Each structure stands twice: as C-alpha cells, then as structure tokens.
C-alpha cells in the first residue's frame, strides 16, 4: 500500500462515516468514469463556472425524496455530512464532502421512461475524482464497519491508472442511427399554447419535446467528451441501466454563505454574424426574458436583504445559439440551505411559464411528455448548506442503444409553431453533434 494511503490509517478508525482524500494527477474527469470501478456513474463538471470538476462511481448513501420536502431532505443530508470525519494525505486542507443529485421537473408520480430516477434523489458517492485550480484529488467515502482495505486498494489502483492514462483517442459514434421526432404533434401543442395565451389563461408557457435516437450502442463517456469545450456545466447521473447527461448553460442558483447568485436565461436566436444586435432588438425575446427576470426577483425577495440585476440583458454566446442573459446577485437575510432557494425558484418561467402554477398544470394536461429530470434542478450541496444547482437543459436520457434528446422553447404572444420548432431543433444540435448525428 502506498505510504500516503497508509498514513490515512495511522489514527484509530472512528465509529462515524469517513471521508478519505489523497492527491491525484490532473486529467479529464470523464477519464475517471472509464476506470473499472463499480457502481453508478456521476459527473459534475462546473469548471467553466470556476467550480470543481467531479466524477464519481458508486453510492454510499442515497436519500430519496418521495414524499419528503426539499428542505427536510437538505437538512437531513447536511447533518449526516457534518457527522463525517475527514482525513487527507499528504497534509492539506480537507474540504467538505458533498452530495450530488437532482429532482424531477414535476413530482406527479412514477414514470415509465425515467425508471430509476423517481421524484428525486441525492447521493454520497463511494469513489470520487475531484479537480479544481490546477490540483486534483481522489476521495473515498466509507461507513462504520465497512471493509476498508479492499476499497483502499481500489482507490490506489485508480490513482495509478490515472497516472498511466494513454493519450485520449477519438471515439467514433457506433451508428448507424435512426432519428424519430413528432414535429406535427409539437406544432399542435404550440398552437394550443398560443390559444391559451390569446384567451388570457397564460402569459407564457415553455413547450418541450423529445427526439428519439436509436442505433448504437451509445457510449455515454464519448458523448460527454464531445460536449466539452463550451462555457456550460457537463453533467451525468446514472440510475440502473440509464444515464441522464448533458451540458447546460443555465445556473438555477448558487449559495456560498449568504452570497446568492442566479441568472435569467431566456430569449434565443441562431448564432450568426449580426445576430447579437437582432436578439437585443427583438421585442418578443425581450418580453420573454423580462418575465423571467421579474419572476426570479419576486421568488428570491423573501430570502434576501437586497438583489441586484442589470436593467438590460447581455448576450450569452454558445456554439449554435445566442441567449439573452441577466445575472442576478443578492445577500441572504439569514443562514439558508441552498435547497431552500431551489424550492423557491423551481420551476422558473424559463422552463415552465407564467403564472407558474397555471402553466405547470397546463403542461401536465397538454404537453404529453414525461420530462423526468429534464429542465429540473441538478447539482450539489455540502454540510453547511452551500451549493450550486443548474437547470438540466441540452440533455438526453441514454439507455443501451437509444437516446431521448429533450428540448423546449418559450411560447409567448408573437410565437409561431414553425419558429418554436426551429428553435428547439437548434437547441438539439449540440446533443446531436455529440451523438455523432
């Protein structure tokens, strides 16, 4: 056993959960997921947001939402994390262990499509690879009484494998693939949404659809490789034989102490020369964006001493699309858990509509789509309730040789079925590219 790993065992083992950490080489975190470690996979790569990149395998503890509230689960999990003893080798500051997971868009009941995901869950992973600020670590979480030595051997072998990684080869899609999409059905739902808006039932509603890709087999790690490079959060959550993955541009909320950060991201146009000016000048997109800004400010106001938001949006450039974006910052009135803010914000008008409850009910009745974790909060939190959650957009549910790609567009007065269909096709482009289509 390596000396630094052995140093973790110098002190007697406590009768509490342990978090053990050792230094590791800096590699692409997706490479860790390719190692022969057991258990469901997880990726949270928020390095483009200045946060850590984390890849993990296995589960020590899982907390399922079921009938519980986000607030109660958050405090239960954070209390467990506070009970952990942390050891790090060689000597370095040991940061807080984190839980990772998400919730479903609409906790209405079981889903035939999202079999293993349920209404939401958070996990404390078994084996983790963490990278931040030019440094990297491997971490192992164990419960009292679990056989520690075999897991330390696996951790040691994982580190050696990361040091000996060969150059990353370009993996070609398996294919050939068959793509299915119900464009006429989507047009009908958009027309129904426009009728509800004209009747004054809704101000805005976000209508989503999916594209079904079949062929395969599909390698999720190659898909994540090809999603690298844009200023977005790459994520992957495995449940059973399914993997939900994507690269989302939208932060739902971050909480660090009393510092709150979020953003409004709504209003889109295809990336092209001069498109930024066209987007900023679009009354339809500016209206759609402003209702999101106002709803976020209203939802956060009870929790914050003050909130700051620019008077005009900026343009957020991505590979295929430009979005209107308004960053929003604030200071919490008191000590909060990040899940308090997640519960207050989700679903925002950027993924649901306005009025929120009416739009959610309308989607349940008319959209005909099992959204599952699509357009829902995914992220992490620690023992102190700090954390970051993103909105799971630009995403796909993979199972064997099939992939469901989920995309949506905001319908407001002035929208057209063809326009919304075209926007969702643009939003699907990054996943189709990553899948080799």
For the chain, list residues with pLDDT below 70.
91-94, 108-110, 168-175
Distance CA 148, CA 141 (A): 10
Among the listed residues 130, 181, 203, 204, the single catalytic one is 204
Q: How many domains does the chain have?
A: 1
Q: Helices 356-366 and 183-198 meet at what angle, rounded to 10?
A: 140
Verify whether residue 250 is a known catalytic residue: yes
Are 245 and 236 contacting, i.e. CB atoms less than 8 angstroms apart?
yes
403 in a structural domain: no
188 in a structural domain: no
Are 121 and 76 contacting, i.e. CB atoms less than 8 angstroms apart?
no
**What is the SS3 assignment for 359?**
helix
Closest-CA residue to 330 (of 315, 345, 347): 345
**What is the SS3 assignment for 80?**
helix
**CA 96 to mean position of chain CA atoms:** 20
Among the listed residues 130, 181, 203, 250, the single catalytic one is 250
Are 41 and 56 contacting, i.e. CB atoms less than 8 angstroms apart?
yes
Closest-CA residue to 266 (of 247, 246, 292): 292
State which residues form the domain around 112.
3-163
369 in a structural domain: no
Across 144-232, the runs of DSSP E, i.e. the strands, are 178-181, 204-214
Q: What is the pLDDT of residue 291?
A: 87
254 in a structural domain: no
3-state DSSP helix/strand/coil percent for the chain, to nearest 5? 30, 35, 35
175 in a structural domain: no
Distance CA 412, CA 288 (A): 7
Average pLDDT, the chain: 92
Q: Kindly state the helix (H) or strand (E) to which residue 382 belongs, with its residue range.
A: strand 377-382
**CA 425 to mean position of chain CA atoms:** 21
Distance CA 385, CA 380 (A): 9
As a residue count, the chain comes to 437
280 in a structural domain: no
Q: Kindly state the helix (H) or strand (E) to which residue 339 belongs, with its residue range.
A: helix 338-345
Are 183 and 134 contacting, i.e. CB atoms less than 8 angstroms apart?
no
Closest-CA residue to 208 (of 392, 30, 340, 14): 392
Q: What is the pLDDT of residue 288?
A: 86
Q: Find all residues with CB under 8 Å of 299, minimum gap 6, and list them.
A: 344, 345, 348
Distance CA 36, CA 217 (A): 19
355 in a structural domain: no
**145 exposure class (CB count in 10 Å sphere: 0-12, 13-18, 19+):** exposed
**H-state helical runs in 87-142:** none
183 in a structural domain: no
């Amino acid at each position: 056993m390596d000396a630094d790993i052995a140093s973790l065992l110098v002190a007697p083992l406590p009768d509490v959960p342990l978090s053990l950490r050792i230094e590791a080489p800096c590699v692409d975190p997706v490479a860790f997921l390719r190692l022969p470690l057991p258990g469901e996979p997880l990726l949270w790569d928020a390095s483009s947001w200045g946060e850590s990149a984390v890849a993990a395998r296995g589960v020590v503890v899982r907390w399922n939402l079921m009938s519980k509230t986000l607030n109660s689960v958050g405090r239960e999990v954070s209390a467990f994390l506070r009970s952990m003893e942390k050891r790090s080798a060689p000597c370095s500051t040991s940061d807080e262990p984190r839980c990772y997971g998400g919730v479903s868009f609409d906790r209405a009941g079981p889903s035939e499509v999202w079999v293993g995901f349920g209404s939401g869950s958070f996990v404390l992973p078994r084996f983790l690879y963490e990278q931040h600020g030019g440094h990297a670590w491997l971490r192992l979480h164990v419960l009292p009484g679990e056989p520690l030595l075999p897991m330390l051997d696996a951790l040691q072998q994982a580190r050696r494998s990361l040091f000996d990684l060969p150059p990353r080869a370009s993996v070609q899609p398996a294919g050939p693939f068959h793509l299915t999409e119900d464009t006429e059905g989507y047009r009908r739902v958009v027309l129904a949404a426009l009728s509800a808006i004209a009747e004054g039932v809704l101000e805005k509603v976000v209508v989503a659809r999916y594209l079904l890709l079949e062929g395969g087999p599909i390698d999720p790690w190659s898909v994540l490789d090809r999603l690298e490079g844009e200023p977005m959060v790459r994520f992957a959550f495995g449940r059973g034989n399914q993997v939900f993955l994507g690269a989302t541009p939208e932060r739902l909320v971050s909480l660090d102490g009393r510092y709150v950060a979020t953003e409004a991201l709504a209003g889109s146009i295809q990336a092209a020369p001069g498109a930024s000016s066209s987007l900023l000048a679009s009354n339809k997109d500016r209206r759609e964006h402003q209702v999101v800004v106002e709803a976020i400010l209203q939802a956060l106001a009870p929790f914050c001493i003050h909130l700051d938001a620019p008077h005009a949006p900026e343009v957020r450039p991505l590979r295929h699309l430009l979005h209107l974006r308004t960053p929003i910052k604030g200071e919490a009135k008191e000590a909060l858990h990040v899940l308090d803010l997640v519960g207050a914000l989700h679903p925002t008008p950027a993924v649901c509509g306005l009025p929120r409850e009416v739009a959610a009910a309308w989607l349940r009745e008319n959209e005909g789509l099992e959204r599952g974790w699509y357009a829902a909060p995914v992220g992490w939190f620690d023992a102190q309730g700090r954390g970051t959650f993103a909105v799971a957009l630009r995403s796909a549910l993979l199972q064997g040789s099939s992939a469901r790609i989920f995309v949506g567009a905001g319908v407001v007065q002035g929208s057209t079925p063809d326009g919304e269909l075209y926007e969702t096709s643009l939003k699907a482009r990054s996943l189709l590219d990553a899948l080799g289509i």
